[in-house]
Amino acid sequence: MINDIDDPNKKYRATTKLKKANVIGGNLKNNALFLEKRVKLFDDLAKEIVRDYSLLMQTWDMGNSQDRLSALNMKQGFTYIDEALNQTIAAVDSYKQGATLYKQANLTKTIRVASSRLVSASGDLYQNLIQFQSNCRSLLAKVDDMVAIRGSSNPDKEDSKPNKLHQGVPE
């Protein structure tokens, strides 16, 4: 649509161009509002995920084969999450760069203001994704350590000490 405005073969009156630019600016603003709302929700969700998994890891007894299996499954899950986050971070960065190009084009005030807001919102999402990826990698490293250090004894032997999780006793 934006290319349509600048096409020299098409003749538009200034008011038509302004109306189209306002529609584009409105769409950019709606995208920015959508992202702004989701950034806060994602941040809260990411913190809860990290907190919950950290607490779960504290209940594990690596002498217990069921807990070791849980740790290995979590390790695989965090590996998949890391791969997905790499792709998501790249996509959000590309989106942010596109919004930056709209802003730098300085087409109209409406588009410039809306695209500035979109650049800010996508930048916040990008930073939150980077932070979540860092936290997931830290949890992955902790799981690796737990499996390597505490699980290095005989993996087929069940520990005689009952697991606190299975007793229902809080840590």
For the stretch 7-48, pLDDT in tens is: 666 666 778 878 888 888 888 899 999 999 999 999 999 999
Return the structure tokens found at 132: 């979540």
Backbone angles phi, psi at 168, to 5 degrees: 80, 15
Say what the pLDDT of residue 163 is.
46
Cβ contact 17:5 at 8 Å: yes
Q: Residue 162: is its pLDDT beyond 50?
A: no
Residues 6+ apart with CB under 8 A from 130: 89
Residue with tokens 């860092």: 134
Q: Residue 64: is its pLDDT beyond 90?
A: no
Residue bearing the bigger pLDDT, 151 or 95: 95
Residue bearing the bigger pLDDT, 124 or 4: 124
Return the structure tokens found at 25: 């600016």
For the stretch 95-149, pLDDT in tens is: 999 888 888 887 788 888 888 999 999 999 999 999 999 999 999 999 888 888 7
- CA 49 → CA 34, 42, 59, 117, 140, distances in Å? 22, 10, 16, 28, 13
**Does residue 108 sit in helix, strand or coil?**
coil
The pLDDT confidence band at residue 61, using thresholds 50, 70 and 90, is: confident
Whose CA is closest to 150, among 80, 57, 56? 57
